[in-house]
Amino acid sequence: METVSTDEGLVERYLSYMEGPRRASPHTVIAYRSDLGDFLGFAKRLGRPLTTIDHATLRSYLANLETRGLQRTSIRRRASVVRRFYRFLQREGDVETNPAELLVLPKGRSRLPRVLKAVEVGRVLGAAEERRTKPDAPPEAWRDLALVEVLYDAGLRAGEACALRIGDLDLENGWVRVEQGKGGRDRVVPLADPACIAIEAYVAHGRPGLAARNENATEELFLNTRGKAMTTRDARRVISRLGAVALDGRPMWPHLLRHSFATHLLEGGADLRSVQELLGHTDVGSTQIYTHVTSERLRTVYDATHPRA
């Protein structure tokens, strides 16, 4: 029992480190807790304390995950989490060496993000605008148009858009401040004129009606139908409904607009470093995936138009 308690304590100490100094998002901490919990269960079944795990045992763990039918991407993620965990334990002096440092991670399949064409984004915005301009347009219609504009024109994550406060906006100069996004990196992102206009209209004509439905005032820009701060789930529902109307029932989600934002910038000639800053990526490698997307599009155009393709 003492070993179990110690092992669980090591995991909790690492998760506290992720929540504190690393400022990981709650979703990341939940995912790490699940992955490390699975690994801890494997170690318990072997009767091995976490501080005695060696490289061969970790290879057996990956083989066990494959036997259980996990996808390569899932196995790769869990192996990466275990590697970071032992790297932390090594820094803390709980283990002398990191047994996972030389662990070979299974290669994941290359999956390019799906993006919308500019004309498709236009159809989504058109559908939101058409609903907003109806004589009996509800407050949600003004909000939904502003939300789509922010997600696409600023390339925000759904969580970042939901966390925006009115004070984060400088509509006169066309800027929005994104505080403590993923990884804790604050940034300032420009807003196009249509986005500024849509937000101003929402604040004037839509948000007051939503705010009146809740006795407790909130500073968040986007409110749900109950007048409370919008959640990422609320945002997904809004974008999904708009996609069903504008894209003939095809699925659409907030991050798809972010993917499209980055891809369209690169297609228009933006440099990779600028797009990295706009997206708030700490590593330019996360941004480079969009260069592959634009290359795929160029190939499609080439194959469709070149006489000898």
140-152, pLDDT tens digit by residue? 999 999 999 999 9
pLDDT, tens digit, for every residue of 272-297?
888 888 888 877 777 877 776 666 66
Q: Do residues 127 and 248 make contact, with C-beta atoms less than 8 angstroms apart?
A: no
Query: Which pLDDT belongs to residue 4?
Result: 42
Residues labelled catalytic: 157, 182, 255, 258, 281, 290
Q: Which two tokens stand for residue 83?
A: 């590697």
With a pLDDT cut of 90, the percent of the chain lying above it is 66
pLDDT exceeds cutoff 50 at 3:
no
Query: Which pLDDT belongs to residue 70?
Result: 87
Q: Do residues 98 and 83 make contact, with C-beta atoms less than 8 angstroms apart?
A: yes
pLDDT exceeds cutoff 50 at 166:
yes
Non-local CB neighbours of 44 within 8 Å, separated by 6+ positions = 4, 7
pLDDT, tens digit, for every residue of 74-95?
898 899 899 999 999 999 999 9
What is the distance of C-alpha 220 from the center of its chain? Answer: 19
What residue ranges define each of the domains in the chain, with the CATH number in brackets? 2-92 (1.10.150), 118-252 (1.10.443.10)
DSSP-derived secondary structure for 7-18: HHHHHHHHHHHH
Buried b / exposed e over 113-144, threshold 16 CB at 10 Å, is eebbeeebbebbbebbbebbeeeebebbbbbb
Between CA 58 and CA 100 the distance in angstroms is 7
The structure's pTM equals 0.65
The closest alpha carbon to 220, from 135, 175, 160, belongs to 160
Query: Which pLDDT belongs to residue 293?
Result: 66
